[in-house]
Amino acid sequence: MNPRLIRGGHQTGDHHAKLFVPGRATDGVNQSPGRGTVVTDLHYQALYRKYRPQTFDDVIGQAHVTTTLSREVADGRVAHAYLFTGPRGTGKTTTARILAKALNCENRHSDGSPCSECSSCVSIAEGNSLDVMELDAASHNSVDDIRDIKLSVTTVASAATSKRVFVLDEAHMLSKAAGNALLKTLEEPPEHVHFVLATTEPYKLLDTIRSRTQRFDFHPVPVEELAGYLSLIADRESYKTDPAALIAISRHAGGSVRDSLSLLEQVAALGSGTADVAGVRRALGLADSEAFHRLAEAVAGQDARSALELVAELAASGVDLRRFVAESIGFFRGVFLAHYAPNLAEIADEPQEVYESWKKAADIVPPSDVLRAVDLLAEALVRLREGREERLMAELALIKLTRPETATDPEALISRMDRIERRLGKPGETPQLTVAPGAQPAPSSAPERAVEPEPKTPDQATSSAPKVPAVVEDSQEELARAAAPLVSDDPEAVDEQPPIDISFEQLQKIWPGLFGGLRDLLGARRWAFFREAIPAAVERNTIILEVAHDFHLSSLEQDDAVGPIVAAKAGDLLGGPVKVKFRIKSDGGGSDEDNSVDLTQLHERPEGSMDPASLLESELGARVVDD
């Protein structure tokens, strides 16, 4: 005969189980064991049940709820119906029981807290009180079940001063018909009846139900507060704990007290009464913080090999790859916040060392790659939850992340282009013009409307940066930033260069590069006027540009910064100092040659000495094809 497990007590009280090893047959479960029977008392109880709060003060992390309820009880202003919402394990059902105890306590304290010693408090704590009914809406969600509740509401309490409390857990599981059947009773119950509806998904409840209740939102318990509570429980249980291990448990519990106590119990059992960081990682299959930093370095360096080696090491050490992918999403979220949030402590609940790791990763991973990492890892996590092979999904996600050319989505192409820009330099950067000194200044034989830089004085010659004329609408700093990359460090070098004669063919040849390079240098406002200009003619070293409207002409001539910027850029491309002149477009004027320029063919001249063909081969996988 198999051993028989006899349990006593109530589901909400202590479980005392006795294991009877039969020496002879017994007639009933209440019969005393006979000779030869070994009796073993099993008194162990799960930590989250053993240390369930019994008063409002025992509930942690929900002071905004418990303080309000205790004052309502003390003042006699208790609502007829409450709605407790929040994540799992935050104390919704426990607080409902404490409220029931406070309403029926015979020796209630002045602050509204129950004494937990009277017969009413004891019976409610043990779960055998006739005045408190706990119902699971998941299994009592029909109209017939609501009809039974309505009948129970009409019955009197066990004592004249007692209150009947109906706790409806998982209230969002009520069907629409059952919810409508409950409305009238919920709105106008008898004076001695109170309802408490607890749910993790309040948006699934009918609006008519929510409007008839007083709502309290239970929040996830902060990591630091939860770790302190775990330390207190560990001391009572004589566990040896490491503060870092308690922090790791609290973070993984996600603000749930019940989950954190279960994890502490699991880790302590694995470590024979000791809870350390290594035990937490082994029990939960977690990766250490160094793994996430290595992942960030692999993403920043586009190093697929390092990423795959990381996955192999984690799998070999028993890390749960699904959990690693989920935590990697949280890590890159923190990196994204580090890019844009000046104070991470105000928007995230993490230890200081976590903030530091986010900031280090933000220094090496650009925001575009961070967002792409979140998208790819989230997609991989969805597939993992569908039952796909964990290691394969993790490897594919990291390969797409570290080698954008293996992906076909637009974000991958943008990432590849960003990588090219980072190798070439920041977008809009233009190499500095180095001009050989030692030449005589060019003669001042410019046409009437020529725009040229102001002459330099001896005092200005000692300055390390060129002087750009001021403009009313723009600050001096903006002009300096615009003109600084285009001129030599020596202010006198430009004036000392010999004049050059340029042809209209030369101007047409360099015009696409000149036109494309001026867009970022001129800025949005100036570019709006300059984009209408087209090359019309050349006079020795003076470039003549035509515009179609007088308004554009006056705007370009009145802005003293346009001419120097265009002249400096053109001089860089032509190899000598030039001047720029604007004029209105005339029907019969201009050169005999075709001066029109196809704007669709304009392109940016490659910066630096890097070969464009080699760059396209290495970054985009292109190959040279002979015609």
Q: What are phi and psi of 21, to 5 degrees?
A: -100, 105
CATH number of the domain that 572 lies in? 3.30.300.180
Assigned domain for 419 exists: no
SS3 213: coil
pLDDT, tens digit, 9 for 90 and up, residues 448-488: 444 444 444 444 444 444 443 333 344 444 444 444 444 44
Q: What's the CA gap between 68 and 65, in Å, rounded? A: 5
**Same domain membership, residue 123 and residue 85:** yes
**Same domain membership, residue 244 and residue 101:** no
Within 10 angstroms of residue 198's Cβ, the number of other Cβ atoms is 26
Assigned domain for 621 exists: no
pLDDT, tens digit, 9 for 90 and up, residues 330-380: 999 999 898 888 788 778 878 788 888 888 988 888 888 888 889 889 988
The residue range of the domain holding 270 is 223-284
Of 284, 312, 333, the one marking the end of a domain is 284
**Same domain membership, residue 149 and residue 16:** no
Of 269, 284, 299, the one marking the end of a domain is 284
> pTM of whole model > 0.75?
no
Q: What's the CA gap between 120 and 365, in Å, rounded? A: 61
**Same domain membership, residue 391 and residue 338:** yes
Assigned domain for 623 exists: no
| Successive 10-residue mean pLDDT values, the chain, 627 residues | 37 40 40 43 77 91 92 91 92 92 89 89 87 84 84 71 86 87 86 90 90 92 91 91 88 89 90 86 83 90 89 88 90 90 79 86 87 89 86 90 74 66 52 40 41 45 40 41 44 52 81 78 79 84 85 82 84 83 69 50 57 70 71
**Same domain membership, residue 238 and residue 105:** no
Task: Say how far residue 469 (Cα) sits from the centre of its chain.
Answer: 46
**Same domain membership, residue 72 and residue 202:** yes
Assigned domain for 506 exists: yes
Helices (H), 271-409: 277-284, 289-300, 304-316, 321-340, 352-364, 367-385, 390-402
pLDDT, tens digit, 9 for 90 and up, residues 524-577: 778 778 888 888 888 888 888 888 888 778 888 888 888 888 888 888 888 788
The total domain count for the chain is: 5
Q: What is the rounded (10 degree) CA torsion for 87, 89, 95, 97?
A: 120
Assigned domain for 74 exists: yes
**Same domain membership, residue 396 and residue 354:** yes
Assigned domain for 572 exists: yes
**Same domain membership, residue 183 and residue 54:** yes
**Same domain membership, residue 204 and residue 75:** yes
Assigned domain for 227 exists: yes
**Same domain membership, residue 499 and residue 597:** yes
